[in-house]
Amino acid sequence: MSKSDDQKSPLLESTSSEPKQGPNHIMISPKFPPTVDMIELISKKTPDGRIPARAPNAFIIYRKVYVETAREHGYYLPMTIVSSMTLQSWESADETVKAEYRRIAKEALRVRIEMYSESGRRKKNKQNQSAIQKNLTSGKTLLELTEFIEKKLKELNVRMFNYLHFRELKLIGSGGYANVYSAKFYRKQYALKSLRNTLRLEHKEVMSLIHELKILREVSHPNIIKFYGVYKDPHTHNFMLILQLANGGTLRNYLESKWKDGKFEIPWINLNSFAIEITCGLRFLHEKKICHRDLHSNNILINDGKILISDFGISKKMDSTTQTSSVKGLPAYVEPRYYLYPDEKIKHDEKSDIYSLGVVFWELTSGTPPFSDSSNHAIIIKISQGKRETIIPGTPIDYAKLYMRCWDSEPEKRPTLEEILTELKRLSKEITILSVVNTNNYVNANY
């Protein structure tokens, strides 16, 4: 909606004789079943002229129909009001309504894949050619780029391995700018984190790699993933970080595996042990003056039943310059200050990581990511409003009190890692329950 539209059509008072509810006393029920133009839905551009990188989820489609319904009734709502009202309406909607919107979202994804698979391949080829041309015109050849990285590795005293010694490479994961493989080196399994295309790397991505190597060189702890060195593939020129292989996968995968027949169950002794080990690893990082900044269940690994904290791509040293105005990490694990004060530079410190730690502690009891039934946009609104996930019935009350202190909106009210460890160790001796059980199965919900 343009600014002129807002001026010409002011927000009207509802003329309905029914009870007035929600922000500004307006009650709107999106039409059902919804009528959606699928092509328009998946190809509509953003205000800056871009086509969204993914198909809209159920909540986004619901919001679109909500706004259209409001306009049909003469309401032209500012986005600040739309966000709050739509979220309230979605949360109170019948499950049949939500299911229909999830069905539409799945169909939108299918159509989008068909529409953009071919155009996507053409675009990627064009980007590759553009990147090559950019490197050539700026004088940064592939040889110079790899030499720059190799020079940095030598400065960090990083061991270089011969790629011919690695066998049986198997893709086991994929991230923002890297793939992760398992591979065998003299009868032992390792994890290889590979940059996808060195030639196309931007300077910030190269420096992110170097930065992660620097962090990994400084840490050695039983609950931090081990770093062994680097090798370069002579054919692709991709650099690979050689890391400890976590045979148990991610904590997220582990928790998902504990769902059976609509019920999640985790032994208390395992839950408490995981919580202690995550805290110990994080305490070690903080002792080294390192903030993780992206702590969540997919960056926590399990090896032989023991916790390993991983992925230090956006970690930072804690000093007077560690400030940012941009949000780092998954929305549900990021403390509220970044959302409440978006225009201010906020220092990410120990208390920021402790907020994320509290969310992970809750996830250990639920078996599902926080706010898994909401879009990222809805999650940000909820957290900004002070909302947190509810306690899973049967959770030891002192454990729940601990993680709620960790995710307090006021950083100074959050406990220190020493206090957290002391409390967890006390609970390990005093709590006698066998397991924590959750029957609210959101794990396979498609929102």
Please write the tens of the pLDDT for every residue from 334-348. Answer: 988 877 776 666 777
Which uninterrupted H or E stretch holds 192? Answer: strand 188-195
pLDDT digits (tens, 9 = 90+) for 144-193: 777 777 887 888 788 888 877 888 888 887 765 677 888 888 878 899 88
As a dihedral over the C-alpha atoms of residue 329, residue 330, residue 333, residue 335, rounded to 10 degrees, the angle is 60
pLDDT digits (tens, 9 = 90+) for 44-74: 655 555 555 566 788 888 888 888 888 777 7
Q: Please, which residues bridge with residue 75 across strands?
A: none
Task: Kindly report each contact of residues 312-315 with a partner whose C-beta sits within 8 Å and lies 24 or more positions away, as own/partner.
Answer: 312/211, 312/212, 312/215, 312/216, 313/176, 313/208, 313/211, 313/212, 314/208, 315/211, 315/212, 315/215, 315/285, 315/290, 315/291
pLDDT of res. 142: 62
% of residues, the chain, pLDDT over 90: 30
**142-244 topology per CATH:** Phosphorylase Kinase; domain 1 (3.30.200)
Domain ranges of the chain: 38-106, 142-244, 249-319+326-438
pLDDT of res. 316: 53
Distance from C-alpha of 385 to C-alpha of 380, rounded to nearest angstrom: 9
Distance from C-alpha of 292 to C-alpha of 279, rounded to nearest angstrom: 12
443: number of CA atoms within 13 Å, CB side? 20
pLDDT digits (tens, 9 = 90+) for 419-433: 999 999 999 999 999
pLDDT band at 135 (very low <50, low <70, confident <90, very high): very low
Give me the chain's average pLDDT, please: 77
pLDDT band at 17 (very low <50, low <70, confident <90, very high): very low
Query: Rounded to the nearest 5°, which phi and psi values hold at 240?
Result: -125, 130
432: number of CA atoms within 13 Å, CB side? 0
User: Which residues are within 8 A (CB) of 12 and not within 5 positions of it... i.e. 6 or more apart?
Assistant: 74, 75
pLDDT band at 384 (very low <50, low <70, confident <90, very high): confident
* 71 Cα distance to chain centroid: 34
User: Which residues are within 8 A (CB) of 305 and not within 5 positions of it... i.e. 6 or more apart?
Assistant: 248
Residue 289 and residue 319 in contact, taking contact as beta carbons nearer than 8 Å: yes
pLDDT digits (tens, 9 = 90+) for 203-214: 666 777 677 777
pLDDT band at 128 (very low <50, low <70, confident <90, very high): very low
DSSP code string of 237-280: --EEEEEE--TT-BHHHHHHHTEETTEEEEEHHHHHHHHHHHHH
Task: Kindly report each contact of residues 393-400 with a partner whose C-beta sits within 8 Å and lies 24 or more positions away, as own/partner.
Answer: 394/433, 394/436, 394/437, 395/365, 395/436, 396/268, 396/427, 396/431, 396/433, 396/436, 398/423, 398/427, 398/431, 399/272, 399/361, 399/365, 399/427, 399/431, 400/365
Q: Flag whether pLDDT at 229 surpasses 90.
A: no
> Which single residue is written with the structure tokens 């039934």?
373
Q: Is 193 annotated as a binding residue?
A: yes
- CATH 1.10.30 given to domain 38-106: yes
**249-319+326-438 topology per CATH:** Transferase(Phosphotransferase); domain 1 (1.10.510)
